[in-house]
């Protein structure tokens, strides 16, 4: 069992609707030793990928983007921001992201000066569910003519289709923890 799995067992709560409560250690109160370990594990997974920078989306993804970037030797982190900024002119790459969890669509944006053409980009986020946030971040990489080398995820929910769809599309997705939902509504770890 890795450190994140141990934390989920110790302090997480698995709700019948398929939501994993992690606010005591991951995204509200942050266990910083765990966050550092997550960064190290994701950095190790992409050690040979020659990553130039990390791309994430606010808010919770920033924590693990930062620890991964520091473990990779202090490479830059680019944070996609939420909110409609289309009226700020054409100096932004934008993508619309539909959230299944919240049933809302938000626009994420990254300043054009923050990504350089040809950079090898690693996308980092805390959860992978339907994959909408990752698809939006990949669209931004595409607009910036960067190469989205892969995605590093803390928790993937395998009973939602994002991970499968992205892997079928050829994206290298590394998830430190994969969780499935059993027929009785409870959740379990997927061991590989
Ligand atoms: P998707 O990008 O893979 O399609 O996922 P989805 O739209 O469902 O996720 C929307 C938000 O819900 C994201 O946070 C995501 O981190 C969070 N989320 C998804 N599944 C879970 C879960 O099981 N437990 C918890 N605690 N959060 C989950 P966000 O709205 O972007 O907010 P932020 O926390 O990053 O600020």
DSSP codes of every residue in 56-91: EETTTHHHHHHHHHHHTTS--EEEEEES--GGG-SS
Atom index in ligand 1 nearest the CA of residue 58 equals: 35
Interval 92-98 mean pLDDT: 94
- What pLDDT shows up at residue 88? 58
Cis status of the peptide bond prior to 68, with omega within 30 of 0 = no
Structure confidence by residue, pLDDT tens digits, 123-140: 999 999 999 999 999 999
- Pick the range with the lowest mean pLDDT from 9-18, 23-32, 44-53: 9-18
Which of 39-48, 74-83, 89-98, 130-139 has the lowest average pLDDT? 89-98
The single-letter DSSP state of residue 114 is: G
Q: Residue 61, exposed/middle/buried by CB under 10 A (0-12, 13-18, 19+)?
A: buried
What residues have CB less than 8 Å from 91, skipping those under 6 apart?
Answer: 111, 112, 113
Distance 101 CA to ligand 1 centre (A): 6
Contact 6, 179 (CB under 8 A): no
Query: Which pLDDT does position 87 carry in this prediction?
Result: 59
Q: Which of the 8 DSSP states describes residue 112?
A: G
- pTM, entire model: 0.96
Q: Please give the distance, rounded to the nearest whole angstrom, from the Cα atom of residue 24 to the centre of ligand 1.
A: 16
Amino acid 184: pLDDT: 83
Q: Which residue has the higher pLDDT, 146 or 183?
A: 146
Nearest residue by C-alpha to atom 13 in ligand 1: 127
Whether pLDDT at 41 is above 90: yes
Closest protein CA for atom 26 of ligand 1: 21
DSSP 144: T
Ligand 1 atom having least distance to the Cα of 136: 2
Pocket test for ligand 1, best of 13, 23, 102, 129 (most atoms within 8 A of CB): 129
Rounded to the nearest angstrom, the distance between the alpha carbon of 49 and the centre of ligand 1 is 27
């Amino acid at each position: 069992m890795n450190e994140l799995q141990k934390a989920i067992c110790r302090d997480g709560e698995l709700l019948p609707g398929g939501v994993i409560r992690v606010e005591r250690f991951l995204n509200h109160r942050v266990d910083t030793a765990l966050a550092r370990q997550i960064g190290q594990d994701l950095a190790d997974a992409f050690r040979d990928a020659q990553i130039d920078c990390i791309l994430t989306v606010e808010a919770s993804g920033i924590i693990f983007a930062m620890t991964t970037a520091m473990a990779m030797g202090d490479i830059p982190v680019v944070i996609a921001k939420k909110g409609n900024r289309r009226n700020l002119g054409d100096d932004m790459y934008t993508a619309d992201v539909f959230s299944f969890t919240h049933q809302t669509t938000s626009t994420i944006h990254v300043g054009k000066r923050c990504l350089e053409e040809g950079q090898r980009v690693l996308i980092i986020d805390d959860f992978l569910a339907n994959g909408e946030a990752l698809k939006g971040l990949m669209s931004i990489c595409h607009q910036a003519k960067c190469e989205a080398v892969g995605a590093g995820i803390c928790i993937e929910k395998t009973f939602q289709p994002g991970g499968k769809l992205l892997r079928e599309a050829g994206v290298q997705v590394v998830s430190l923890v994969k969780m499935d939902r059993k027929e009785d509504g409870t959740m379990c770890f997927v061991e590989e």
